[in-house]
Structure 1
Amino acid sequence: MEMTCIGTQQQSAATARRTRDNLLQQMEEHLRAFLSAEHELWAAVNERAVGAVDALSELVAAGGKRIRPAFCIAGYLAAGGEAHDGAVVAAAAALEMLHASALIHDDIIDASSHRRGLPTVHTRHSALHRHHRWQGESRRFGEGVALLVGDLALVYSEQLMAPVPAAAGAVWHRLRSELMIGQYMDMSAAAEFNVDPQLSRWIALAKSGHYTIHRPLALGAGAAGRPDLAPAFERYGEAVGEAFQLRDDLLDAFGDSAATGKPAGLDFSQHKMTLLLGWAMQRDPRIHHMITTPGHTPEEVRRRLLDTGVPDDVEKHIAALVDQGSTAIAGAPIAPVWREELTTMAERVAYRTS
C-alpha cells in the first residue's frame, strides 16, 4: 500500500510538471505568433518599420530562463486553475515581454555589451550606425533605438495582458511600478555607493523578490481566482526571491560569462550596491576604494571579497532563505504536489549556475 501511495505521488508530481511545461510551451508559441503578426503589420506600412519589432523578437528568441512565467503558471496551477485556460498563457507571455523591456533598458543603464550570448540592442545598433557611417553619434543612436525597443516591449506587455481576468490587474500594476521604482533606487544607490545593507535588501526585494517570484505567483493565483493565496506566496516569494538575487550577485562576481551570457563583474564596474558588496565593505572598507578607484582589476576585487569570508556567508544565507521559503509554502492551502514542486523550484533558482 505504501509503495502504491509513493508511486501515485510521483506520478502526480510528473503530471504537474508536464502541465506546467506544456503551458510554458504554449506561452513560447504565443509570443512567437504575436511578434510575427506585429512584424507583418509593420512591414506592410514600411520596410524600415520592422526594425524595432525584429530587435525585440531576436532577444525573446534567444531564450532565457523564463523564471517569471514559470512561477506565474505554477501559482495558477497551485491555485486550481484549469490546464486549458488561455488567460494564464497570456499572463505568462506578458511577464516575459515585460522582462524583455527591463533587460533592454537595464543593459543601457549598465553599459552591458552582451545579453543571452548576443550583442545587446544598443550595442548592435551602435555598431550598425558606425558601419553605415550615418549622421550623428553612434552611441546615442544605439541607446535611443534600445530605449524605443524597450518601450515597445512595455506596450506589448500590456496588450498581452488584455485577456487576463481583471482580478489580477492590481498585482500586475503593482509589479510594474515596483520594478521601475526598484530600478531607480538601484541607480541612486550605485551613484551614492554608500554601505547600506538595509537599502540593498529593499532594492533586492523590489527588483527580484517581488518581481521575479512573489508577484508572478500572485498574478497566477489571481488569474485562477484565488487571491487568498497572496500572503503565503508573499512569504515564500520574498525569501526565495532574495535567495535568487544573492545567487545573481555571486554569479556576477564569480561566474563564467560564457555560462551567464553576459559580461562578468558588471556590479563592480557599475558600482552596484548589492548585498554581497555591502556586507563585504562592512568588513573591509578597502573594497570600496578598490571599486571606485581606477587601476584595480576585477580579479583583485574578487580575491579581496573571498578574503572577507562574505561569499561563504552568503551561501549559508541562501540556504536559510530556501528553508524559509519552503516552510512558508508548506502551510499554504494548495495541493501537496504543488508544495513539493514549489520547494523544488526554490532550490532550482537559488542554486542555478547561470
Structure 2
Amino acid sequence: MPAAVEGVLRQYLAERAAQADGVSGRFAEEVAELVARFALGGGKRLRPRFLWCGWRAGGPGAAEERAVLRVGAALELLQVCALVHDDLMDAAPLRRAKPSVHVEFAARHRARGLRGAAEEFGAGAALLTGDLALVWAEDLWHEAGLKAAARRRAGALWRAMRTEMVAGQYLDLHGQAAGDFDPPQALRIAHLKAGLYTVQRPLGLGAAIAEDGRVRQPELRRAGRRAGVAFQLRDDLLDVFGDGSATGKPTGADVRQGKPTYLMAVALQQARAGRRRTAERVLTRALGDRALGESGLERVRAVLVELGARAVVEQHIADLAAEALAAVDAAGLTESAARELTGLIRSVACPPAVTWAPGGARG
C-alpha cells in the first residue's frame, strides 16, 4: 500500500511540476521540485496506512481503491507542509538526516551571492514551499474521485483535521514560549499535534469513505485516539533517549527548544513535588538552551530516569497501546482487518525499545 501511494504521488507531482513550469521555470525547479523531492524522499506513510486500515475496516469496494490511494497521497502532501513549517518554527537543522528546507534555501542564497540575509530568504522560501504542499494536498483531496456520499461523510473529518493540526502546532509554540509545563496540557497538545492528525483522523477518514454499519465507530475512534497519543509520547522519548542516526534528527532537539512535552512536564512535576531542587535546576537550565552539549543532555537523561519520569511515560504509552488494541477487538472488524490494524498500532504505539544507562549507552 505505501508503494501504491508513492506511485500516485509520483504521477501527481509530475503533473503539477509541469504546470508549475508553465508559470515559471525557476519556481518549478526550485520550489515545486523540492516539494516533490520531500514527499518522495522518505517517511513511513503512516497516515495513508491508517487511512487504508480504516477503509478496510469499513468493508471497502474495489472500485474505491484508486480514490482512497489519492486521498492517502493528499495526506502525505499535508504532512510535507506540516514538517517544512515545523522545522522552520523549531529552527531545526536536519530532517531525515538531510538539511531542512529552510536551511537548504539559505545555503542556495549564500552560494549564489544573493542580496539580503540568507536566513531570512531561507525562512520565506520554506514558508512558501510548505504552502505549496498544502495547496496541492487540498487540490488532490478534491480531485480524488470519491463518490458524492463518501466525500460528504469524510469531508467534515478532512476539514477538522487541518484545523486541529494548526491548533496543535500553535499550542506547542505557545507552551514553549510561556514555559507552560503542565502534564494535562502536554497530553492535550500531543493529542492535537499528532494523535488526531497521524492516527485518529486518517483512520476515521478511511472508515467514513467505506461506511459499514457493522463497524462500531466509537470503538474505532477510541483506538485511534489512544494509539495517536501513544505515538507522540513515544516520539518524545526517542527525541531524548533515541539514536539520532536512526531518527534522522539531532537527539535532544525538544530539550534545546524548550518544548513542553509530557516527559518534561512529568519530570518537573516530580522534581517539585519531591523538593528535588538540584534535579529541577538541571532541567530548567537545559530547557531552551540551544547550545546544550552532549554532556548536558546526558545529565538531563540521568535526571529523567532518577525522577521516574521516563518510567511514568513508558507506562502511560503501554497503557494507551493496550487500550487501543482492546478497542480494536471491540470494534466489530473482520479478522483480516483487525489483524492489519492491530499490527500497525503495535508498530507505532508500543513503548520504544531504547536502553540507556549513565555513560551514554543507547540502542
Tell me if TM exceeds 0.5: yes
User: Counterpart in 2 of 1:257?
Assistant: 244
Report deviation, 1:206.
0.6
CA offset digits 1:138-173 (Å, max 9, x no partner): 001001011001001111111111123232100000
User: Counterpart in 2 of 1:171?
Assistant: 157
Matched, 1:217 2:176: no
Name the SS for the 1:161 alignment partner.
helix
Distance in 2, Cα, partners of 1:294 & 1:97: 30
Report deviation, 1:292.
4.6
The structure-2 alpha-carbon separation of the partners of 1:290 and 1:120, relative to structure 1 and needing over 3 Å to count, comes to closer
Report the residue type matching 1:46 in the other structure: S
Matched, 1:197 2:183: yes
User: Counterpart in 2 of 1:10?
Assistant: none
CA contact (8 A) 2:259 2:287 kept: no
Matched, 1:126 2:96: no
* TM-score normalised according to structure 2 size: 0.87
Report deviation, 1:60.
1.1
- Large movers: runs of 4+ above 6 Å: none
CA contact (8 A) 1:218 1:229 kept: no
Report deviation, 1:194.
2.3
User: Counterpart in 2 of 1:241?
Assistant: 228
User: Counterpart in 2 of 1:340?
Assistant: 339
Report the residue type matching 1:223 in the other structure: I
Report deviation, 1:229.
4.4
Distance in 2, Cα, partners of 1:229 & 1:206: 23
Percent identity of equivalent pairs: 39
Gaps of 5+ in 1: 1-20
Name the SS for the 2:251 alignment partner.
coil
Name the SS for the 1:210 alignment partner.
helix
The one of 158, 168, 171 aligned to 1:182: 168
User: Counterpart in 2 of 1:79?
Assistant: 58
CA RMSD of aligned residues (A): 1.8
Distance in 2, Cα, partners of 1:294 & 1:170: 40
Name the SS for the 2:259 alignment partner.
coil
CA contact (8 A) 1:56 1:149 kept: yes
The structure-2 alpha-carbon separation of the partners of 1:45 and 1:211, relative to structure 1 and needing over 3 Å to count, comes to closer
Distance in 1, Cα, partners of 2:252 & 2:348: 20
Matched, 1:139 2:125: no
CA offset digits 1:174-225 (Å, max 9, x no partner): 0000000111111001111122111101000011111111100000111113
The one of 53, 76, 82 aligned to 2:32: 53
| Alignment map for 1:80-159 (pairs within 5 Å) | 80-85=59-64, 86-159=66-139
Distance in 2, Cα, partners of 1:96 & 1:292: 30
Matched, 1:62 2:26: no
Name the SS for the 1:134 alignment partner.
coil
Gaps of 5+ in 2: 272-279, 355-363
Name the SS for the 1:278 alignment partner.
helix
Report the residue type matching 1:270 in the other structure: Q
The structure-2 alpha-carbon separation of the partners of 1:353 and 1:97, relative to structure 1 and needing over 3 Å to count, comes to farther
After the TM superposition, which of the residue ranges 308-317 and 261-270 deviates more from structure 2? Answer: 308-317
The one of 284, 287, 297 aligned to 1:288: 284
Distance in 1, Cα, partners of 2:320 & 2:204: 19
Report deviation, 1:289.
3.3
Report deviation, 1:293.
6.0
Distance in 2, Cα, partners of 1:117 & 1:274: 23
Report the residue type matching 2:154 in the other structure: A
The one of 6, 18, 21 aligned to 1:40: 18
CA contact (8 A) 2:258 2:289 kept: no
Report the residue type matching 1:31 in the other structure: L
Report deviation, 1:226.
4.1
CA offset digits 1:92-144 (Å, max 9, x no partner): 11111101100000000111111112111100000110111101110010010
CA offset digits 1:236-284 (Å, max 9, x no partner): 0111111101110011011111111112111111111000010011112
